[in-house]
Amino acid sequence: MDAGFDFNHREKPPSFADAVNACIDTALVAEQAERPQRDYLGGSRLGDICQRRLQYEYLKTPKDPGAGFSGKSLRIFALGHVLEDLAIAWLRKAGFDLRTRNRHGDQFGFSVVGGRVQGHADGVVVAAPNGMAVPALWECKSANAKNWREIAKHGVGKAKPVYAAQIALYQAYLGLTEAPALFTAINKDTCEIWHELVPFDAALAQSASDKAVTILRA
């Protein structure tokens, strides 16, 4: 008797690499869960157009099951930190006096409204070999090839408004409004680097600050 064909979909068994990565991701997610949640509104997030999302973040509204960061996302974040450290080293070797800590050894940052709004800058350029105006805020981001090309083509203000708002707000609160900020973007896929000078946008900084006040009053 012909047994016929079995057309039922069968899950492909996990490969050795999948099994190892599952262990890594489980460890990363567990580590993330142990980290204390922010008790302040982060300045880097105030460019988000969704005010309600920012309110949920600030109020620590519980997320739906499975809605937290995946292990893969946490690996991507970690890679971004590594690339930022490399960018710092490369710029310093090129002759840029890039400071990432103040004279007390703390990261450059600000805290306002009783600590309920805070921000931490990537660095400050205090001298440069190319004649750019200083002191200047330095912000660094990494992006996949598609997003990086958008930044390089249109500039950070148009391609990534969230980053632009962060830059303007940090310039304002750190008193670095005279010289344009130096924005660096690294292509994660090709290691191409984009740099641009971002003049201070007072209106954008005010808009981000006003949004923070609205969220805190909600």
Rounded Cα gap, residues 12 and 26, in angstroms? 21
Confidence class of residue 2 from pLDDT cuts 50, 70 and 90? low
Q: Please say whether the structural domain 20-61+69-217 has been given the CATH code 3.30.230.70.
A: no
> pLDDT tens, 155-174?
999 999 999 999 999 999 99
Q: pTM for the full model?
A: 0.86
Confidence class of residue 216 from pLDDT cuts 50, 70 and 90? confident
Look at residue 67 in the predicted model and tell me its pLDDT: 66
Q: Which residue has the tokens 């840029």?
A: 96
Tally the C-alpha atoms within 13 A of residue 182's C-alpha that lie toward its C-beta: 24
| Percent of the residues in the chain that have a pLDDT greater than 90, as a whole number | 68
Look at residue 1 in the predicted model and tell me its pLDDT: 47
Strand residues in the chain grouped as ranges (E): 41-42, 97-99, 109-112, 117-120, 123-127, 136-143, 181-187, 193-198
> pLDDT tens, 64-117?
666 678 999 999 999 999 999 999 999 999 999 999 999 999 999 999 988 888
193-198 and 41-42 strand pairing: unpaired
Q: Is the pLDDT of residue 212 over 80?
A: yes
Query: Looking at per-residue confidence, does 49 or 110 come out higher?
Result: 110
Contacting residues for 105 by C-beta, under 8 A, at least 6 apart: none
Query: What DSSP string runs through 157-183?
Result: HHH-HHHHHHHHHHHHHHT--SSPEEE
Provide mean pLDDT across the span 193-211.
96
Look at residue 33 in the predicted model and tell me its pLDDT: 87
Asked which of 57-61, 129-133, 184-188 is least confident by mean pLDDT, the reply is 57-61
N-term to C-term CA, the chain: 72
Tell me how long the chain is. 218
Cα angle 24-30-13, degrees, rounded to a multiple of 5: 40
Query: Looking at per-residue confidence, does 36 or 174 come out higher?
Result: 174
Question: How many other CB atoms are there within 10 angstroms of residue 78's CB atom?
Answer: 11
